[in-house]
Amino acid sequence: MARPLVLQGTVHPTVWTPAYADTTDPTLAAWLWDVLYSGKRKRKLSKLTSTKDQYFSQGKEDHIYIRNPNQRSGDADPQLQEYRIMVSIAVPTFDRKLNSYVTNETRFADLLGVAGTDVPIKDMEKLTYNYKSGVNGYAFIVTNNGYILLHPDLRPVFRGILKKNYNSVDLTEVELLDDTNGPRKLSPEIEELRNAMVNHSEGKMLKLRMKFHYDDIRRVALEHKNYYFAPLKRTPFTMGLSLPDKYGMYYIKAGDEVQKSRHENISIISYLQGSSWKIHPDWTYCKYHHQTHTFESPEDEMKHFLEKMRGRDWVWAEQYEYSDKKDETMLMQDSVTFFVDNGTESFDCNRRPTGEDEYYCDRELVQLFVFDARVTKPFFSGEKLTDLEQEIVKLYNVTLKFVSTQSGLTRWLHLQEHTESEEDALDFGDLHTDSIDEPYYRSAVLHYGTDPASYVFSVPFDAGLRDDAVVMASHAIFPRDGGMEAPASVVGLQFQHSALLSRFISITSKKTCPTCYDCASEELDCFVLDNNGYIVLAEDKNLTGRFFGEVEGAVMDSLRTGDAVFKKVSIFDYQGLCLDDKNRTSNSDANFILTPFTHFKLLVQWVFGQLLWLLFDSNLSHLWYGTQASASPFGEAIYYDTYDFDDEMEFPVVDEDKGSGPREKEEVTLVPLPCDQKTSLYLLQYEGLQKYKYTSDDCSRPHLAQRIPHTNLVLVVINSMFETCEKKVMSSPVEIRYNGTDPACQKLFLNDLPRRRLSDCFSENPLEHEVKLCGGCARVKTNIILFVVVWSMLYLGYMLHH
């Protein structure tokens, strides 16, 4: 296929590979491993390990880390390392010799090789400017086959294990329309969106009602979204942009804050003094082109550039230089320009080399960051609290206040002194670094449309198992200008759960009439639930953070039927990984008695094995496969994905009768297999809550539900003196069974969806017959008689020796 490509001589077709995971070479030497993973990376990994005891997020870990391939399987404490999802790009290089004719009848058509590079998907994501798409908005990339290359719901890793099908996730498997279709039933709107993007089209689809999950598939939201898409030139990819219809069409844009601070002779660093702060770790604010400048953290790097901005020689530099139309046309025709001088060739890629001290900045993002720092400074300067603020801090044991902004700035201020145990714990900014991508930020913005004056309360899902659990209350701020509004920031408080529980018990224990019951009595069980059905407050503290349906399934079933208080939303996860039990029985029987027949059997087996080894080692397979031999520069390698799991457990079967024979032990191995999963999540319906009245049935106990004003919380009171049936309403993922068929068979229909063939395909050329320089192959001949004689002599010599 190379000759037609070389003979056309004009077009250098660019080839893009599918996505693949770039992990560390398993054969990496120990000393090199220590070098690569020292310093900042080790501290980063150490912080993540510490967070496993402090509100750990599996999704955050899987987004960054994979299990170390150097580690032996079965280790109880898996070691983690960073990984990257990448694509490779390659272009062919032609032989452009001036003397292309050896004779008048012979032509050269040689492919010199291929030039290529690797492109991390995160580098592509940084160019999508996430701060502009905003909270709950995102950019995504689809290939010509309909697979997603970039998408916030692309989850290639599960608990440190790389999934088998991570690079073949179809767009229809992650974009879910809010409809009543069952699993693997395509929505016409999503299919239309996919077809347009596969065909490299440009367009938009507006007001699609979508459902999506967040917070490790524990919460769900329903929104109308607008989709915009356009092809990425000179690639097989198409980029899409998904924006919330209600609040995603505008974003905050700041003025020239840096110049303003310079004119007022104010140091920008001073805006950040008085409190702790972090910036979004995945966004690019300012950065040097070369890695000769290293920083301990993104915050240190930001401080460095903020200091540079004070100088008069400061210049806003772009990451990529823009060429004029003439240069751009030249680059589109050919990536390099050739200049011939005295028979030699030189190359000009139309780019000057960058110096070690050259940098680039996202000017708009930095200006927005400086604006946020200046505006939030008065609230985080560490000034003394007012009497009302001190009363609230004391009543609810408020530990800190925080703000996260659209620019990725997160700053917080502790309102109480640290205890000895808290000094060793991670700070707020270490646990919540992602600003607009954090669950509390997304929940606050989503809830703003329901009640703009309300606060969103949430607790960690493992809060019931902790003595130091905290409650987070967050509120979204939407500035308004000319009838338009956009989410600018989220503010909030963090306080001890024990203080809120104490306050709750104090309020609900007061009787409003002589014959009334209160929550402290045995007749009533009281719960406070959030808008997704998770318990925030309960008389039994151990229930905090659990899904209400697991505790009171019959009542939850009543709340989701009729005038539903909670709406059930089914989320289908087509990237699931299920742990399948594989039982293996191994006998520990003793060997049978060694006899002369046994020795003869072993001798025959040994001779047969040596014969086979000699036969293949002598390259005699041509005796039955033919005598043609071919040459190839590289051997064909087959790679198998190996998954090591720590969940392999051995359960010895206890045999009380010692004389009954050899014991058996059963090994139970949990093998990760791709599967489809369904998760039933719930969303509070405020209109249904106002109309809801308990209807007597044979299962659930009498109860009432009442919204707590200006919050996302609902109070549920149950009469515990009535009997109830044992019922569970679960929100954990459940594997979808397709009539016993293999899960891979359920994806076969995706192969029938439209795909687009790549252009620039050169399979033939009329000048091919002029190329006479063709290769050949050799013929291997073996003297069979000589082989038999030599082999017989060796065998007889061996037998005489033994």
Has residue 695 got a pLDDT over 80?
A: no
- Paired tokens of 224: 């109308």
Q: Are 21 and 85 in contact (CB under 8 A)?
A: yes
Separation CA 668–CA 651 (nearest Å): 7
**Residue 198: predicted pLDDT:** 96
Separation CA 363–CA 256 (nearest Å): 9
**Residue 348: predicted pLDDT:** 52
**Residue 780: predicted pLDDT:** 65
Mean pLDDT of 574-597: 61
SS3 content of the chain, % helix, strand, coil (to 5): 30, 25, 45
Question: Greatest CA span in the chain, whole angstroms?
Answer: 115
In terms of C-beta density within 10 A (0-12 exposed, 13-18 middle, 19 or more buried), how is residue 460 classed?
buried
Q: Point out the least confidently predicted range of 161-175, 196-210, 311-325, 674-688.
A: 311-325
Residue percentage of the chain with pLDDT more than 70: 76
Has residue 220 got a pLDDT over 60?
A: yes
Greater confidence (792 vs 612) lies with 792
**Residue 368: predicted pLDDT:** 97
State the virtual CA torsion across 613, 619, 621, 625 in degrees, nearest 10: 160
Has residue 717 got a pLDDT over 70?
A: yes
Which amino acid, 702? P
Q: Are 400 and 494 in contact (CB under 8 A)?
A: yes
Greater confidence (360 vs 337) lies with 360
**Residue 654: predicted pLDDT:** 40
Q: Identify the band that residue 189 occupies on the pLDDT scale cut at 50, 70 and 90.
A: very high
Has residue 169 got a pLDDT over 70?
A: yes
Q: Point out the least confidently predicted range of 243-252, 471-480, 484-493, 739-748.
A: 739-748
**Residue 99: predicted pLDDT:** 42
Q: What is the pLDDT of residues 432-484, one digit of tens each?
A: 999 999 999 999 999 999 999 999 999 998 888 888 889 999 999 999 988 88
Q: What string of DSSP letters covers 533-551?
A: SBEEEESSGGGTTSBHHHH
Radius of gyration of the chain measured on its C-alpha atoms: 34
Q: Which helix (H) or strand (E) holds 60?
A: helix 58-64
| CA 79 vs CA 34, 41, 169: distances in Å | 13, 13, 27
**Residue 117: predicted pLDDT:** 92
Q: Is 233 helix (H, G, I), strand (E, B) or coil?
A: coil
State the virtual CA torsion across 249, 251, 255, 257 in degrees, nearest 10: -170
**Residue 423: predicted pLDDT:** 54
**Residue 311: predicted pLDDT:** 86
Separation CA 535–CA 528 (nearest Å): 6
Which amino acid, 542? N
**Residue 743: predicted pLDDT:** 72
Has residue 332 got a pLDDT over 50?
A: no
Phi and psi dihedrals of 206, rounded to 5? Answer: -110, 150
Greater confidence (159 vs 573) lies with 573
Has residue 701 got a pLDDT over 80?
A: yes
Q: Identify the band that residue 657 occupies on the pLDDT scale cut at 50, 70 and 90.
A: very low
Contacts of 249 (CB under 8 A, 6+ apart): 226, 243
Which amino acid, 555? V
**Residue 593: predicted pLDDT:** 54
Greater confidence (46 vs 199) lies with 199
**What are the structural domain ranges in the chain?**
266-371, 518-589+662-736, 773-801
Alpha helices in 235-362 (DSSP H): 257-263, 298-308, 325-333
Mean pLDDT of 797-802: 70
- Paired tokens of 376: 């939030």
Q: What is the pLDDT of residues 58-90, one digit of tens each?
A: 777 777 777 766 665 555 566 777 788 999 999
Q: What is the pLDDT of residues 394-413, one digit of tens each?
A: 888 899 999 999 999 999 99
Has residue 698 got a pLDDT over 90?
A: no
Separation CA 686–CA 714 (nearest Å): 10
Has residue 577 got a pLDDT over 90?
A: no
Residue percentage of the chain with pLDDT more than 90: 43
- Paired tokens of 586: 């191994």
Q: Identify the band that residue 659 occupies on the pLDDT scale cut at 50, 70 and 90.
A: very low
Separation CA 157–CA 178 (nearest Å): 26
Q: What is the pTM for the complete model shown? A: 0.80
**Residue 669: predicted pLDDT:** 63
Q: Are 238 and 149 in contact (CB under 8 A)?
A: no
**Residue 234: predicted pLDDT:** 86
In what side-by-side order are the strands of the sheet with 524-529? Answer: 535-538, 524-529, 714-719, 703-707
Average pLDDT, the chain: 80
Q: What is the pLDDT of residues 663-677, one digit of tens each?
A: 455 555 667 888 999
- Comparing C-alpha atoms, which of 635, 690, 98 is closest to residue 342? 98
Has residue 549 got a pLDDT over 80?
A: yes
Mean pLDDT of 297-319: 92
Has residue 488 got a pLDDT over 80?
A: yes
Greater confidence (771 vs 750) lies with 750
Q: What is the pLDDT of residues 248-288, one digit of tens each?
A: 999 899 999 999 999 999 999 999 987 799 999 999 999 99
| 542-578: b (≥16 Cβ within 10 Å) or e | ebbbbbbbbbbbbbbbbbbeeebbbeebebbbbbbbb
**CA geometry: angle 164, 169, 172, nearest 5 deg:** 150
* Strand bridging mode 359-361 / 286-288: antiparallel
Greater confidence (288 vs 656) lies with 288
- Paired tokens of 433: 């670094």
Separation CA 721–CA 698 (nearest Å): 14
Separation CA 13–CA 761 (nearest Å): 8
**Residue 694: predicted pLDDT:** 78
Q: Are 496 and 421 in contact (CB under 8 A)?
A: no
Q: Are 258 and 308 in contact (CB under 8 A)?
A: no
**Residue 34: predicted pLDDT:** 45
**Residue 4: predicted pLDDT:** 80
